[in-house]
Amino acid sequence: MKAFVVATEDRLGELARIGEAMGAADVNISALAGLTGEGAGRIGFLASDEAGARGALRAAGIEAKEVEVIRISLPDEPGALEKTARKLATAGVNIELILSTGTSDGKGIWVLAVSDPRWARTLLGDLVVDA
């Protein structure tokens, strides 16, 4: 599974431009995070159709980095994310992107792009859920 990360200028309409490209290609954005500051922005998202999203971005002239992500399920309770993030940090794995994709059956579902996906999968074991 891949996430798309778009580096933008901090200006009006950048998110709309991405949304327009996805909508025109009939691709749903299923999770999204964004942040702006100091004249720049970053938008990370998951798409219902990765190939469609890739083509739509390319057609719109929007450059995006694709990053491998892993999906994890954590108890929906205080401290659960901290324990997981600390485990990765202690093992030298950097979290580069995190997206919440909701909750289900008392669990929070998160998608992580990390510096070493294979090692993170091993470290997190049963917390990793298939895409």
Which domains can be identified in the chain, with CATH numbers?
2-67 (3.30.2130.10), 69-129 (3.30.70.260)
Between CA 6 and CA 41 the distance in angstroms is: 8
What is residue 131's predicted lDDT score, i.e. its pLDDT?
54
Between CA 1 and CA 68 the distance in angstroms is: 6
Each residue's pLDDT tens digit in the chain (131 positions)?
Answer: 999 999 999 999 999 999 999 999 999 999 999 999 999 999 999 999 999 999 999 999 999 999 999 999 999 999 999 999 999 999 999 999 999 999 888 899 999 999 999 999 999 999 999 75
Q: How far is CA 70 from CA 55, 60, 79, 108, in A?
A: 23, 27, 20, 14
What is residue 130's predicted lDDT score, i.e. its pLDDT?
76
What is residue 104's predicted lDDT score, i.e. its pLDDT?
84
